Amino acid sequence: MLPLHRTCCSDTHIILLSLFLLLIYFPSSSLSISSIPFSPSCSSNQFFDPVLMQCNNCTTIGTTPSINMCACANGYIDNPINQCQSCTTGVSSRNRKICMGCDPTTTLGISNGECICPPNFRIVETDSTGNYLTNKTCISCGTTSYRSPSNAYECIVCPDPLMTVVSGVCDCDNVIYSKVLL
């Protein structure tokens, strides 16, 4: 019998191959990748690489950690050779394809490279047909919806059409109710 030599695979690859084989041979069992006790805790300038099972640094200028990779940060766009290029305007589209400006309804957010809208206004960067505007602009969410706390591009409609937005939340105190006598 010949001795077993490992020349092409690292320990990580062997572990991943073993897990893969376990899942193939025991597909109906309760074993799954999600049951493996591993919880990555990468630093703020790193992303977790699930193939290598390790944290990797985002060291290129203009990049920020994203899901399983480094991505261009606000104010940078992807150029043809997949590098992040700084926008002279300091602002980029959400998909990091074009550089944009901020129109007078906005103020440039210095710390995050994004146009900032007044309370209860949302950011708009395309027209109704999907074409990019030259500058990002702010559009009111109206009186029956409010700006999403987690997405400056979205307005959330109040659950009741009689509610109005007061200080960024849906409020029914201004609704006048009348009692119907039968």
Query: Which pLDDT value is given to residue 110?
Result: 54
Bridging pattern class, strands 155-157 and 145-147: antiparallel
Query: Which pLDDT value is given to residue 17?
Result: 45
Query: Which pLDDT value is given to residue 111?
Result: 53
Instruction: Determine the Cα–Cα distance for residues 173 and 151; give it in Å rounded to an integer.
Output: 26
Per-residue pLDDT tens listing for the chain (182 residues) = 444 443 444 444 444 445 444 444 445 444 444 444 444 688 877 888 888 888 888 777 788 887 777 788 888 998 877 688 888 888 999 998 999 988 888 876 655 778 998 889 999 999 999 999 999 999 999 999 999 999 999 999 999 888 888 888 888 865 544 444 44
Domain ranges of the chain: 100-169
44-78 burial: b if 16+ Cβ within 10 Å, else e: eebbbeeeeeeebebeeebbebeeeebbbbbbbbb
Structure tokens belonging to residue 146: 């409010």
Query: Which pLDDT value is given to residue 174?
Result: 58
Helical (H) or strand (E) element with 23: helix 11-25
